[in-house]
Amino acid sequence: MGLGLYVYYAAWVMPVLTLAWGAYLLVFDRARFKRAWLGLALALVIAAIVFAPLGLELARGPRVTRIQVTGAPVRALLQGDPRPVLETTLGTLGMFTFAGDPEWLYNYSGLPVFDWIVGALFYFGAAVCLIRLRDLRYAFVLLWLAVGISPAFISIPAGSFSHTFAAQGAVYLLPAIGLNTFQLLPTPYSLFPIRVKL
């Protein structure tokens, strides 16, 4: 986590994920929180120690940063205009199947993360996680997704792949969760299972 903080500003949400996970455990599973809180705190302390050299350098003085370049929606929100944050939030939430990153850095401009088949599994997986929110495994994936894509809610361009890379693991787990759950549902197809000999 500490080394990740050196890589890109979007990684700065990972300590937030650690805190959010601790808060989830405190609310939903106190016994596990009592066993885990020290490890979570230790992870944050070690990450802070590793990050300290860069953190001290950044604290030394004002300079133009990437956040000043991409953070126009936050500045507008602080001045009382929530419209840019709402626009970037909706654009980011739509990046999975409607319109992806508008830049050409990591993909074709505007190409969504998933096609509609995998996208449907992604949304189904997200719904499964919401329904099973009290199960630690599903809750963690949702927290990971929400925290990981949050930098793109407050920065431009909306749906930027580089601003959401902290959520990449969760994004690709959700279609798998959806597919796995779908396979367990009783359907007419389950009467005729497909068998493959290797």
pTM of the model: 0.74
Token pair recorded at residue 113:
């993360």
Token pair recorded at residue 143:
């927290």
> In this predicted structure, what is the pLDDT of residue 37?
92
> In this predicted structure, what is the pLDDT of residue 63?
62
CB 73 within 8 A of CB 85: yes
CB 6 within 8 A of CB 12: no
d(CA 74, CA 89): 12
Backbone dihedral angles phi then psi of residue 160, each to the nearest 5 degrees: -65, 130
Tens digit of pLDDT at every position of the chain (198 positions): 777 777 777 777 888 888 999 999 999 999 999 999 999 999 999 999 998 888 888 778 666 565 655 667 777 777 887 888 888 888 888 788 888 777 777 777 777 888 889 899 999 999 999 999 888 889 999 999 998 888 888 777 776 777 787 888 899 999 999 888 876 655 554 444 545 444
> In this predicted structure, what is the pLDDT of residue 62?
63
DSSP structural state of residue 155: S
> In this predicted structure, what is the pLDDT of residue 196?
43
> In this predicted structure, what is the pLDDT of residue 191?
46
> In this predicted structure, what is the pLDDT of residue 5?
77
CB 83 within 8 A of CB 76: yes
What radius of gyration do the chain's Cα atoms show?
20
Helix intervals (H) in 94-193: 116-131, 136-153, 168-184
Q: Residue 141: which of 178, 106, 91 has the closest Cα?
A: 178
> In this predicted structure, what is the pLDDT of residue 187?
52
